[in-house]
Chain A
Amino acid sequence: MSAELAGAVDTTPIAQPVVISAENLNLTFQTNDGPVHALKDVNLEINKGDFVSFIGPSGCGKTTFLRVIAALEQPTGGSVSVNGMTPDEARKARAYGYVFQAAGLYPWRTIEKNIKLPLEIMGFSAAEQEKRVKNVLQLVDLEGFGKKYPWQLSGGMQQRASIARALAFDADILLMDEPFGALDEIVRDRLNEELLKLWARTEKTIGFVTHSIPEAVYLSTKIVVMSPRPGRITDVIESDLPRERPLDIRDTPEFLALAHRVRDGLREGHAYDE
């Protein structure tokens, strides 16, 4: 449990290696109404162990950027590297786990079987699969629910199961696309708290898309503020909040100052124009 200790003590950022970097990244979708600049000249570096939130209104390219990192979209210009590889190579090297907006559990598989899905595809042995399922179920606090079907679980539990599925093959990077967007605020608060604990225990690098300012500030070590038309980064805020964050940190002046800066960043980007 040295990871937990390190996480608790480590308040001064030590220079960590860069795991994701984007250089002059451009992505233009050709649509019937002409080209749409989903991403324009995006430059960003994410260090190992960072918790990076992407925040902005719809159409600002935050999800597109995450999908480019995951090689689900191909950029039309510039470059991205993940662990020093192209996104495609990184995917084949199982560099990341991806959590979608909806849990996306297969209804014909039990929770356990859902978590085994990536493991089956990646060719883990049956014994190894069992071991990992047990491990990640514990990590997301779902022990005893392995044999249940998704519909027997609440929305929050389903999303936790989908996080377990993304963690099962132990990728260093976790990409999360508004994973708690569909959940009510009380459940969301609890899951945010649990996600921070999980992050401290596993030392993953997390990319997290959200459009909630408190969520972004509460979770992140780095907040990337984006704005639409064209999709671009308007501000990158390094958070100086301690890594250990109880929920009531949200009432401290430091937290409110950060939230204020994010809101200013969104306003500057004309995000609230319409």
Chain B
Amino acid sequence: MTTTVDPTENAAVPCAFCVAMRRVAGAVLPALTVVGVIVLIWYAGAYLMNRSITLDTAERRDVELTAGEVFADTMAQERPRLPAPHQVIAELWNTTAGEEMFRIRRGELRPNPRSLFFHAYQTLAPTILGFIIGSLAGLLLAIGIVHNRAMDLSVMPWAIASQTIPILAVAPIVIVVLNAVGLTGVVPKSLISAYLSFFPVVVGMVKGLRSPSAMDLDLLRTYSASASETLFKLRLPSSVPFLFASLKVGIAAALVGTIVAELPTGARFGLGARLLTGSYYGQTIQIWSALFMAAICAAALVALLGLAERITLRRMGLGA
């Protein structure tokens, strides 16, 4: 059993492997530990919160349960107070991978309302439209505020006031008013998400557009540069890091806005609608899976913006 091993390879390869493993372990292990702890706490919470239901049912049926049976039942209730993680994951799986996104109904290919993807799409489309409207409005307002003293004094207080109004109270009014003028579907939802997402962009971009130093501005003055040249050559480029930070906050706010817009208006489709019907019928598992889908969507949107940020900064020569 003699195998010839190249001594240099023998010395180098395991070592490089060790280093790589150590690096992975260094980054991944703590993260996994945190996830593990959260899952454990969740299971413990599910057991504690669902136990009384199990015991009540057992008492009514007049059966004695062992501790193991009680635990097993708390993990598998149909309408638990707090569903266990695996129940939520199973529901997520069944309503996404387990359902066709489209099905044939009355001879037509229609989206399948049992698919969570369909509901996610119903929420994402107005979110993205609203985010685009909101960010553009926020950007334009910020440019106005930076260039015009009157706007600086008059717009900002209103922008702040707008965010103190509970969106839940305003949403039905907006939907009803827009319905009256014939606007239905995606537009009313997206206007509400725009309403929530413009604010972080205004605040961030006012800061960003004002970030150039006095010296940077003086330099352009010595060239007799116009306000628009100053905007495009100095203010906008130097505000890019601020822009992406506020866009990330803005897109998360836009998603919340759409879901909230679905709640008080009796929307039939969308993640908000799933939350609402779930709460009507005590379907906690459905509520939690809709919440998870919303979180996954938000994470994906923010990650996409993060990617756009990295590419943009690298193109500007600012990426490290």
Contacts and interface: CB of A to CB of B under 8 A. Distances in A.
A258 B306 CA distance: 60
Interface string B292-320: 00000000000000000000000011100
Interface stretch (A19-27, A103-111, A244-252): A103-111
Given A107-B318, A108-B316, A108-B317, A121 B215 contact: no
Contact of B215 (A97, A102, A120): A102
Given A107-B318, A108-B317, A110-B317, A91 B237 contact: no
A145 interface: no
Contacts of A107: 317-318
A98 B219 contact: yes
Contact of B317 (A72, A98, A101, A149): A149
A97 B219 CA distance: 9
A117 B233 contact: yes
A118 B318 contact: no
B228 to A, nearest CB: 11
B224 A96 contact: no
Given A100-B219, A104-B216, A108-B316, A120 B224 contact: no
Q: How large is the interface on B (under 10, 10 to 19, 20 to 34, 35 or more residues)?
A: 20 to 34
A40 to B, nearest CB: 24
Interface in A77-124: 91-92, 96-98, 100-102, 104, 106-110, 117-118, 120-122
A110 B316 CA distance: 9
A70 interface: yes
Interface in B204-226: 213, 215-216, 218-225
Contacts of B233: 106, 117, 120-121
B317 to A, nearest CB: 4
Nearest to B230: A121
B229 A121 contact: yes
Contacts of A101: 215
B221 A72 contact: yes
B156 interface: no
A10 to B, nearest CB: 30
Contact of B223 (A106, A110, A118): A118
A100 B318 contact: no
Contact of A106 (B221, B224, B229, B237): B237
B234 interface: yes
A245 B218 CA distance: 33
B225 A104 contact: no
A68 to B, nearest CB: 13
A121 B219 contact: no
Contacts of B221: 72, 91
B222 to A, nearest CB: 4
Nearest to B317: A149
Contacts of A109: 317
Nearest to B233: A117
A55 B215 CA distance: 21
Contacts of A96: 222
A109 B223 CA distance: 17
B215 A104 contact: yes
A194 B98 CA distance: 75
A121 B230 CA distance: 10
Nearest to A67: B218
A70 B223 contact: no
Max chain B Cβ within 10 angstroms of own Cβ: one of A91, A109, A121? A121
Contacts of B222: 70, 72, 91, 96-98
A121 B225 contact: yes
Contacts of A108: 237-238, 240, 316-318
Interface in B51-103: none
A118 B318 CA distance: 22
Given A98-B222, A104-B216, A118-B223, 17 more contacts: A72-B218, A72-B221, A91-B221, A96-B222, A104-B219, A106-B233, A106-B234, A106-B237, A107-B318, A108-B237, A108-B240, A108-B317, A110-B317, A117-B223, A120-B233, A121-B225, A122-B223
8 contacts: A92-B224, A98-B222, A104-B219, A106-B216, A106-B238, A108-B237, A108-B240, A117-B233
A-B pairs, top 4 by smallest CB distance, nearest first, are A108-B316, A98-B222, A149-B317, A121-B223
